[in-house]
Structure 1
Amino acid sequence: MSNYHKVKIRDRAKDKEYTVEVPEDRYILQTAEKQGKELPFACRNGACTSCAVRILSGEIYQPEAMGLSPKLKERGYALLCVSYPRSDLEVETQDEDEVYELQFGRYFARGKVRFGLPLDED
């Protein structure tokens, strides 16, 4: 039998707070949905950042979170769709654009892109 952990989720976009009981061997997002909670998601396989959260307290195990860089994981971000609780948790949903900017902002949307050819200046 799995250990269960209490997971408190603050949904910033909806200004709601949910508390769910999640076994250590189940994904947090899937379990929360089965308990009637509506949380943001898209791909459900750890490849995007729609279900990104910032961990306020507790521990998460997320070996399949390909959509987050190791640096963001170190800074306390997680993807609920592929995260398992390892203790009681408190997390807060994040705006997907904010997480994307934190992760990729230095590479994208930084002025004109040149592909080896000069751009005509207006």
Structure 2
Amino acid sequence: MTRSYTVRIHNRQTNTTHSVVVPEDRYILHTAEHDGAELPFSCRNGACTACAVRVLSGELYQPEAMGLSPELRAKGYALLCVSYPLSDLEVETQDEDEVYEQQFGRYFGRGKVKRGLPLDEE
């Protein structure tokens, strides 16, 4: 028998809260959308940070979340598109750019990228 959990999602961008019941074998984002919630997403494959949330309480399982480093996962970040609930949850959406910066900012920390000369002028 499959268990289901209540997931409360606070969408910071629209200042709305959605409460959905998600079976433990279904992705949270898919179930929330099926129930009419409009949430941020992009790739649906766990490779970007568009659907990133911060877990406020509860537990989830996200084995396919390639878009989040182990460090960000340890800080409580998750990707709803590839997350399964393991308990009742409360999460809040994050600004994609903030999460992206935390994920990849160390690679771009040396200032703005400078444009080189066009190929025919090099």
Same fold (TM over 0.5): yes
**Aligned equivalents of 2:113, 2:18: Cα separation in 1:** 43
Instruction: Tell me which residue corresponds to 1:70.
Output: 70
- Which structure has more helix as a fraction of its residues? 2
Q: Secondary structure at the match of 1:53?
A: strand
Where in structure 2 are the equivalents of 1:38-117 lying within 5 Å?
38-111=38-111
Q: How far did residue 106 of structure 1 move?
A: 1.3
Identity value in percent = 72
What residue number does 1:119 align with? none
Quote how far apart the aligned CAs of 1:57 are: 0.2
Normalised to the residue count of structure 1, the TM-score between the two structures is 0.90
Aligned length: 114
Shift of 1:110: 2.6
Partner of 1:18: 18
Q: Distance in 2 between matches of 1:89 and 1:58?
A: 4
Partner in structure 1 of residue 28 of structure 2:
28
Q: Which runs of 4+ in 1 moved over 2 A?
A: none
Query: Where does structure 2 lack aligned partners over 5 or more consecutive residues?
Result: 115-122
The CA RMSD measured in Å over matched residues stands at 1.2
Query: d(CA) in 2 for partners of 1:27 and 1:59?
Result: 14
- State the partner residue of 1:117: none
Unpaired runs of at least 5, structure 1: 115-122
Distance in 2 (CA, whole Å) between partners of 1:95 and 1:113 is: 23
Q: Please give the secondary structure, in 2, of the residue aligned with 1:106.
A: helix
Distance 1:64 1:110, change over 3 A: same
